[in-house]
Chains A and B, each alone.
Chain A
Amino acid sequence: MTDEDLEAHARATAALLGLPIAPHQMPGVIAGLKVAVAAAALIERVPLTEAEEAAPVFRA
């Protein structure tokens, strides 16, 4: 994933959210996304069965 790819993702998603991102903020946003991409790579490798639920449980 290149910086250009991450910037393109940031621009498209921010537009969807109505979230302005100024040019001086973009390098930090890209750096933050790189941290998230690395974390996501770790959790993606965990084999989960379809029966494994998310941690928070709602109690009515």
Chain B
Amino acid sequence: MFLRQIYNYANLRASFHALQRAASSTGNTGTASATLLYNRDPQPRFTDPETQKLLQSMTQLQLEKIFQKTTVPDNSVDYKLMTMDMLEDEFRKSIERAKNRLQMPPVVQMKKDERRIISNDSALSGFSDTKYVITDITYGLRQTERKVVVRQTDGTLEHAPMEITKRMHQLYFPLTGRSIRTPRMFADEHLQRCLDEQKYLFILNRMVVQFDPFEPEFHTISSRVYQHINETKQFDILRSTRHFGPMTFFFAWHRCIDDLLYDMVRRDYLQNAAELIALLYKLHDMEPNYKNILKQIDEIKPKEDLALKELEKALKRASSDVKEDIQSAIGKTQVDFELDDLCLPFIEDYISKHALKKVQLELATQTIKEINAEKRQLFEGISKAHGVA
């Protein structure tokens, strides 16, 4: 499964490069419908390093979620004996694998199907009852470099439309998990059933395999899923998966982040909430002061080794350090409290200026403020009692 995904990514990236070239020539393709679509090319904004960093931070890396139990053909268990160093190495590798799994599918513009005629040989008109499709099946070519042309019955030689090209590629170089015909679950009525059952991950994972990011279906289906999630407010299903970033980007692009923001505040992910607002400001060039706060967050946040942290967590060491004991009891560190102090005013500023669901958000902020104040008091009290600065 994993390998397949990686392969798929490689494929996506290949097509993505081709799209960059194509995107510059095509104009607006947005259609006015119930499903929100990108009206401009979102790719430059999406691939921007700052955006990527924000999206990755918001996605969060929860190992329990990434490596949650799934059905596999071989569910055997292997045991190994290890020293601390070996274990640390193993954790590092595992974190790398986790990061790989969180690699986001690209958000690019929809590609338009254009008729590109190579030559018009009217002498060949009526040479056959059917048109001929000619595919270049040279070994080792990228799918995007592979030429597929059609000789029409009237003698015209032209590049094959996208649909035929995709079918030919799948026919000669099948991609595991992709079927030649579109699976019926993507038909309207079945998709609606899947959405109603909240099988968002299932839909998105299959969609990523079945469609390329520049295909219209990719856009409509993902948009439908994101909008449905926004209605049911089940953002946590996608958290710590590769689809959380594109979803957040989608909401920020279409200026409907309030529900997601509310969810983040309620779950005490205040840093993520601030990042979400920053993303919104960035995408729409609203308030330039967001850069400051991001810088400050970066400064406060210690550069910690993720693998070591996870390892410590796993070992659940009865640590002799009182400081760590207090932290694990309350669930927050001194740094977390400082970050909260930094993020809360920024969030409140957004709520007062731009938010659509003001009352709800204000209430949530107030509640989380009180809870954190209480936690802080407790934290300081215990620290003082133990004589820890």
Say whether A associates with B: no
